[in-house]
Amino acid sequence: ENFLQKTSAPFSTNSCDAFISLNTLNLSSFTKLMKKLQEIHPEASRDKIVDALLEVKNNNKGILSGLSINSIVERTSVIL
């Protein structure tokens, strides 16, 4: 699956309540999400974080749309 696919969904670093889908994250959104997770979990490799994000997606009926950034970060953190 292509995580870097462009989307028209808004994403703001000032709003942790922006809604996104992991399938349609653009490079900027994905990078910001990864940066936030790497700051919280410096011990986790990039691959581990991506695997955890995919697990969150799978646990949410295969989609992340409708989940806030904070919710994605929290659920990913539990897995990590």
Domain membership flag for residue 13: no
Tally of domains within the chain: 1
- Collect all residues with Cβ–Cβ distance below 8 Å to 32 and sequence separation of at least 6: 11, 13
Comparing CA positions, the residue from 25, 72, 31, 71 lying closest to residue 53 is: 72
Which residues span the domain enclosing 63? 44-79
Domain membership flag for residue 31: no
CA distance linking residue 14 with residue 77, whole number of Å: 20
Listed in sequence order, the DSSP H helices in the chain are 27-40, 46-59, 69-79
pLDDT tens-digit readout, 11-33 = 444 344 444 545 555 567 778 88
User: pTM for the full model?
Assistant: 0.65
Low-confidence ranges of the chain (pLDDT < 50): 1-19, 21
Domain membership flag for residue 49: yes
Domain membership flag for residue 52: yes
